[in-house]
Amino acid sequence: MTVDLTTRLVSADPAGIAAAVQCLARGGLVAFPTETVYGLGADATDGAAVARLYAAKGRPRFNPLIAHVPDLAAAGKLGIFNSDADRLAQAFWPGPLTLVVPRPPDCPVCDLATAGLDTIALRVPDHPVARRILRDFGRPVVAPSANRSGHVSPTQAAHVMADLRGRIEMIVDGGPTAVGVESTIVACIDEATLLRPGGLPRAAIEEALRHPLARAARPAESADEAPLAPGMLASHYAPRARLRLRVKDAEPGEAVLAFGPDLPPAMRHAKVLLNLSPAGDLVEAAANLFSHLRALDRAGVASIAVMPVPPEGLGEAINDRLQRAAAPR
Ligand code: TXA
Ligand code: MG
């Protein structure tokens, strides 16, 4: 793996976007903003580019990638949509939803990108910069979160720089991302099944489907079997510090990740304290989650005490990421 590339940081203006598109066309690796987190893009049809992407992230090759396209018409050329997939795509694309569907025999996405599976993950992101790049490039772009494998996902260009400087060609800086957690992943193969909670709440999906989502056959995070969403390993999204979840007190020297207006006295006076949302708003909390984890980690503390976050709405995805960040590794 080349680790001494010059990583160009460009702004998300027409010149920066044109440079990004040219770079992708040459087989380069380009990080760009989506509404969820920054993605690390490569030409999905170019096996060599996709191989470089796995190497740059240090990502296991059994963990397939999401192909990003500008609209449903483009997605329809890469996957086979049943009625549930069609309904969800109509309702929520562009948006923070990834659909896993059967892959047709003539799918142009390279086998390495789908890790040899007969299904493919597809997403139409809702971010003007991502959409401009996808439209202008004209081919599908695989884009995992633009972090080193196992690290916290990036919600700012500076996070990408910290993780991938020297390993990728370019970062398009579009400011902080709005949603802050990755897309919700739903498999539409037979019964619609939730593979990963994310930026689109479960309730919205079930309302559009008019029936509940099936549960994944085995816990997606079981690391010893091939998981359903193969990337959902238990220890993921990990900061260096140890996390203690759902606690109402802080130990001496511990940093605090708070939620809501009412902080227990033991926490209020912690030296290092960040609040996901002082107002108790889950949308704001999701947007702040990964940058707060990175900031607390930078403070060099050994342990982070995390207050309880309610499980409804985006709270399902927030609690999922916190549990993974807290998992033993
Ligand atoms: O919000 C997002 O989805 C971001 C932005 C950049 O679009 N991308 C993202 O990609 O989170 P990544 O690679 O970090 O996570 C993709 C997940 C992995 O857990 C992977 O195992 C799963 O999608 N996946 C990909 N293809 C799959 C397939 N055919 N079947 C099941 N899971 C799949
Ligand atoms: Mg990721």
Asked if residue 229 belongs to a domain, the reply is no
Return the pLDDT at 216: 79
What value does the mean pLDDT take over residues 202-210? Answer: 98
325 lines ligand 1 (CB under 6 A): no
Same domain, 130 and 257: no
Amino acid at 308: P
Other beta carbons within 10 Å of 243 = 21
100 lines ligand 1 (CB under 6 A): yes
Same domain, 55 and 134: yes
Task: Specify whether the CB–CB gap between 153 and 145 falls below 8 A.
Answer: yes
Expressed in angstroms and rounded, the spacing between residue 266 Cα and the centre of ligand 2 is: 34
Asked if residue 235 belongs to a domain, the reply is no
Q: How far is Cα 192 from Cα 88, in angstroms, rounded to an integer? A: 10
Closest CA to 232 of 244, 242, 218, 243: 218
Q: How far is Cα 238 from Cα 100, in angstroms, rounded to an integer? A: 25
pLDDT at residue 228 above 70? no
pLDDT category, 235, cuts 50, 70, 90?
low
What value does the mean pLDDT take over residues 57-85? Answer: 96
Same domain, 261 and 191: no
Q: What is the CATH classification number for the domain harbouring 269?
A: 3.40.50.11030
Expressed in angstroms and rounded, the spacing between residue 91 Cα and the centre of ligand 2 is: 24
Percent of the chain with pLDDT over 90: 84
97 lines ligand 1 (CB under 6 A): no
Of the listed ligands, the closest to the CA of 181 is 1
Q: What is the CATH classification number for the domain harbouring 60?
A: 3.90.870.10
Number of domains present in the structure of the chain? 2
**Which structural domain range is residue 64 located in?**
8-209
pLDDT in tens, 169-202: 999 999 999 999 999 999 999 999 999 999 999 9
183 lines ligand 1 (CB under 6 A): yes
pLDDT category, 220, cuts 50, 70, 90?
very low
pLDDT at residue 53 above 50? yes
Helix (H, G, I), strand (E, B) or coil at 144: coil
Q: How far is Cα 99 from Cα 77, in angstroms, rounded to an integer? A: 14
Out of 182, 237, 314, 321, give the residue to mutate to test ligand 1, the one with the largest number of ligand atoms within 8 Å of its CB.
182
Expressed in angstroms and rounded, the spacing between residue 14 Cα and the centre of ligand 1 is: 28
235 lines ligand 1 (CB under 6 A): no
Task: Specify whether the CB–CB gap between 176 and 155 falls below 8 A.
Answer: yes
Task: Specify whether the CB–CB gap between 162 and 240 falls below 8 A.
Answer: no
Return the pLDDT at 224: 37
pLDDT in tens, 113-154: 999 999 999 999 999 999 999 999 999 999 999 999 989 999
Q: Whose CA is nearest to atom 21 of ligand 1?
A: 231
Return the pLDDT at 221: 42
Other beta carbons within 10 Å of 186 = 27
Residues 6+ apart with CB under 8 A from 99: 75, 79, 81, 85, 88, 89, 121, 122, 123, 185, 186, 187, 188
Expressed in angstroms and rounded, the spacing between residue 182 Cα and the centre of ligand 1 is: 8
pLDDT in tens, 302-321: 999 999 999 999 999 999 99
